[in-house]
Amino acid sequence: MDAQTKLIFSWRLGTRDASVGQAFMDDVAARVNNKLQLTTDGHKVYLQAVANSFGYAVDYAQLIKIYGTPSPEEIHRYSPGKCLGAKKQRMIGEPDEDHISTSYAERQNLNIRMQNRRFTWLTNAFSKKAEMLAYSVAITFFYHNFVRRHQTLRMPPALKHGVASHVWSISDMVKLADEAELGRKAI
């Protein structure tokens, strides 16, 4: 996600293993033209993937969260460990310490879980097929980028970023999906 425009320019659905992490970073690198500052969580897969995809043409840092063990009173079946703090760690280049953050991505993850019930465990809406989840995520991100007027931007991220010339409507989304379906049938 671009921090200034809130454009989600790349996403990958899959496990958190090295091959998916590498495919994700390759896609991110292919979509940017300039040197960027990149922050990931402390997942070790990203270390090699970022180096492979960007070399030294990136300012890369990790934000590593430090979790504690919950007390017996705090233990609940689905509770995560208590976050005690975070450590900023420079990995490649010269990332600006003030901009080492995963806040935008974490907030977007919350938005996705709230807007798209396919991410909610223990409900009948939870996706059981990766293909259906991928379609749902694509629609969610298309809406985020091209249709939804963001409060701070007063426009969709794609318009702010300059990759769209107008605000799309949901009708435009449906029409595009219909055209894509017709194209698939013609092949």
Beta carbons within 8 Å of 106's beta carbon, 6+ residues apart: none
Whether pLDDT at 79 is above 80: no
- pLDDT confidence of residue 76: 66
The arithmetic mean of pLDDT across residues 16-43, rounded, is 94
Closest CA to 143 of 165, 119, 172, 114: 172
Q: In Å, what is the CA distance from 34 to each residue of 22, 57, 90, 105, 166?
A: 20, 9, 19, 20, 25
The arithmetic mean of pLDDT across residues 38-59, rounded, is 94
Beta carbons within 8 Å of 3's beta carbon, 6+ residues apart: 99, 101, 104
- pLDDT confidence of residue 182: 73
75 pLDDT tier (thresholds 50, 70, 90)? low
pLDDT digits (tens, 9 = 90+) for 86-122: 999 999 999 999 999 999 888 888 888 888 777 777 7
Residue pointed to by tokens 């292919």: 30
Arithmetic mean of pLDDT over the chain? 88
Beta carbons within 8 Å of 10's beta carbon, 6+ residues apart: 24, 27, 28, 31
| Residue boundaries of the structural domains of the chain | 1-102, 116-187
- pLDDT confidence of residue 187: 59
- pLDDT confidence of residue 23: 97
pLDDT digits (tens, 9 = 90+) for 127-171: 778 888 888 889 999 999 999 999 889 999 999 999 999 999 999
